[in-house]
A and B are shown apart, each in its own frame.
Chain A
Amino acid sequence: MNTQLTKLKNNVIEELKKIAGSANILTEYEDRYCYAYDATAIGEELYLPDVVILPENKYQISEILKIANENSIPIITRGAGTNLVGGCVPLKGGIILHTSKMNKIINIDKNNLQCTAEPGVIVEKLQQEAEKQGLFYPPDPASLKVSTVGGSIAQSSGGPRGFKYGTTKDYVLALEAVLADGTIIKTGGKTIKNVTGYNLNQLITGSEGTLAIITEATLRLIPDPEERQVLLACFDSIDQAVKAVTGIISAKITPSTLDIMDKNTMQTIEKFHKTGLPTDMDAVLVLEVDGFKESVGVQAEQVAGICREFGAENIRTSRNRQEADEIWFARRSAFGAVARLSPNVLTEDAVVPRNKIPDMVRNIRRIADKYNLTVCIMGHIGDGNIHPNFSLDLRNKDEAKRFEKAVEELFDAALSLGGTLSGEHGIGFSKSAFMHKALDKKNLELMKSIKNVFDPKGILNPDKVFERR
């Protein structure tokens, strides 16, 4: 029962209550039990935080950090807890800072094409508000209906639109963040161009809560494309699909989405939802083109033509919003369908150069066969970011072990093809053990010294990104 009690001293808890208010501090075992996980399947391991705090503003966060730093208490920031690499899991206990109450959009500056938001704002909410002003915030992680601005910056999230529009990192103009010692800093600025000194913005973006805690972000917006059209094209082999993609890009067309799903994924989707995907084809491409009304039709026609040239069958082109939604529904139900196969889903996100995708897919299939695992392959073919979704039951110790081995081989394969460990999910603690394979010693040393400058006591999301000490 001892584990049920918080390790923090009473006076620390009292001080925290004074800062954030008693109602925003959770210390009961049952409350903390519900903050011991994120969206990563970690089996029956339990990493209990000592306290959960729901801060309301940056000043509270600053005061909380001063106490945490003084007492060397680990502090883990959590947005919606949709992290897939265990980033929000409190490995060493400590404080969970849940940003759900800091959820205001501060402004949308239409003339300067930017907006400022608190970290707890939901990404989709930001997109909707921007759209009302005729503007567009492109980053679209699959979790965008729940995931937060703060979390997506900390992870530098991507999404299907990465190929044309880039990822979260390409939209961060300025950040306000709190350092480990409680100092509030501002990085970047309101201008698109900015080479005044080192780019600290980009250093904090994607740092997974290990360097600073983001309390406000100014994000770049772009004009909302007038029209969008979605195409679905089926291929006999993944090689042909990749060739078609290369063909599309060579024809000087830049689709806003270039997604792929393999046969297993299509069969799994069709098992649960009847979306009309062909279950006998090897791969399907989901393509979206956008732009001015006149150009979209032309692009869609050309894309369809090129796909046909490379042997595509059953090409479907959306003629209206509803048909587009239907195609997107099929693509978006992929994760859910895999989730229904077995209790646990583990989504990997190694990334390789685009022309190596057929090799990577072959490798994934070979490794899955070798370790007798069920895998559905989907992902963003335009930027080489492939997501093998492994469906398994972690209670089955043997299966869990086989999965562990498979993942290591998967990373080796990606690295040998010139790719890297993660495209958009991050390292967290799921992949930290493989960092030395992806980066050379000096590189890692540099990163660790940066971490040390920002957070000398190592209280910010400890044991993430770098291997556990």
Chain B
Amino acid sequence: MKQLKDYSEEIYKCTKCGFCQAVCPVYRETGLETTVSRGKFTLLHGILTGKVEFSSKIAKYLDMCLGCKACYDFCPSGISAEEIITAARAENNKLNGINLLKRFIIWCFKSNMRLRLLKFTLNIYKKTGLRHIAGKLADKLGKLGEPISIFNLQLKENIEYKKLGPAREKTGLKVVYFPGCIGNYVNSSAKNAVVMVLEKNGIEAQIPENLSCCGISSRSAGDMDTFKMLAEKNISLIPDDIDYLVTDCASCGSAWEFYPELFEGGLNQKAQKLYEKSININKFLDRIDLYIPENIALEKTVTYHDPCHLARFQYVTKEPRRLLQKIPGIDYREMQEADKCCGAAGTFCIVKPGISQAISKNKAQNILDSGADVVCTSCSACKIGISQGLVSLNTKKQVASPVELLARLYIQEENTS
């Protein structure tokens, strides 16, 4: 693992041209030099050269980064702020400790037992009608009720699992599907859709028991010990003689990219092997002879939001759009700034709620302007960001992953035949 000091040359390379201001969503909301990469590099350079003390005050500056990587593509010197700030946060945690709120969130997602407990509680909440009561209450509370509305939106399960008759012969491919903690414990809609779509296309994906959270939020909070612990658990549960390791959540997908650098020796080799096998579901479906039913259509106007972790970490942008456009009846509309961060960004939405909401609101406005009635994305965190924006604009729209729409098409076919 690289430490902050290992980045000192990278940090010094910043020519201070300030071009990062053009693309930084946080800068757009705050107008503060300290929030843009140039400012943070200057501060970190100050720390590394002894001009600035690495006090507990530094954490608040390091918090002001979504890790969206938008500035990386735009940086003439090609410096990755996301990597450097992650390392700086880890250093800060060592020196000054982790913020309580972040520690609590990481703690929740760290253990599968707690996640199971969460699932159990959520099931009660969902099934006893408590959710509807809370929803009604939220409507009455106005602004104060927004978090409840956003929360409720995350629980709405669009797709229930149903065994569908396969449309393709069994491929014999060995595929493991990594659904991530949201898919496993909070909302199984996208997970059900992936399993159904794969089955329909002749692929029996394995989902190993006891998979943990991918750990991406602990990484972005700089809690590398937790990240490493979760990574190790996940790596050990997946055999390495597979053909593909499919993910649908963008964050989980990039977690697999980060795993190898955490380890040395055998574990590093296995992590590397699995990383090479990992593939986002949209990309996977783009490569196979995807089954598309005829004489049936999904009459919907759809737009797509690029998750940062899919567009700028895994370079998957065309495939989800192509998938959506393959679905008969879908009227696809591109929104403005589709690849701009949604504002959720792991723990950012909890640590900096005001700025996060403002960024989400911009995103929601672009969604409204596109004229779409369904907004698609392929990331559990983005779904939260988008819902947050839509709620703040007082609008409701269906938020789904492209695979969920495809699954819906399959279900519709099954129901009509």
Interface residues of A (CB under 8 A from B): 26, 28-31, 33-41, 44, 46, 52, 54, 80-82, 98, 100-101, 103, 120, 122, 124, 143, 145-146, 333, 335-337, 339-340, 343-345, 395
Contact = CB atoms under 8 A, between A and B. Distances in A.
B31 A340 contact: no
B34 A30 contact: yes
Interface in B142-177: none
Contact of B18 (A35, A81, A345): A81
A82 B46 contact: no
B52 A98 contact: no
Contacts of B42: 33-34, 36-37
A146 B18 contact: yes
Contact of B76 (A44, A54, A339): A339
A339 B76 CA distance: 7
Across the A-B interface, give the 3 residue pairs with the lowest CB-CB distance, nearest first. Answer: A336-B76, A100-B31, A34-B39
B77 interface: yes
Contacts, number: 90
Interface string B320-357: 00000000000000000000000000000000000000
B51 interface: yes
Contacts of A40: 16
Contacts of A100: 31-32
Given A34-B33, A38-B16, A41-B16, 15 more contacts: A36-B42, A37-B16, A38-B18, A54-B31, A81-B16, A81-B33, A81-B38, A82-B18, A98-B32, A100-B31, A146-B18, A336-B77, A339-B15, A339-B77, A343-B12
Given A30-B43, A34-B43, A146-B22, A39 B77 contact: no
Interface string B1-27: 000000001001101111101100000
Contacts of A31: 34
Interface string B32-68: 1110001100110010010110000110010000000
20 contacts: A26-B32, A30-B43, A30-B52, A34-B34, A34-B42, A37-B16, A39-B17, A80-B21, A81-B18, A81-B38, A120-B31, A122-B22, A124-B22, A143-B17, A145-B22, A146-B21, A333-B76, A339-B13, A340-B13, A345-B15
A70 B39 CA distance: 31
Nearest to A36: B42
B415 to A, nearest CB: 45
B43 A82 contact: no
A39 B57 contact: no
A143 B43 contact: no
B15 A41 contact: yes
A336 B22 CA distance: 15
Contacts of A145: 19, 22
Contact of B52 (A29, A38, A143): A29
B31 A98 contact: yes
Contacts of A81: 16, 18, 33, 38
Nearest to A332: B76
B365 to A, nearest CB: 16
A39 B16 contact: yes
Contacts of A28: 57
B78 A340 contact: yes
A33 B52 contact: yes
A131 B31 CA distance: 25
Nearest to A40: B16
B33 A35 contact: yes
A340 B76 CA distance: 7
Nearest to A335: B76
Contacts of A336: 75-78
Given A28-B57, A101-B31, A145-B22, A339 B17 contact: yes
A125 B51 CA distance: 37
Nearest to A1: B53
B78 A335 contact: no
A343 B13 contact: yes
B43 A33 contact: yes
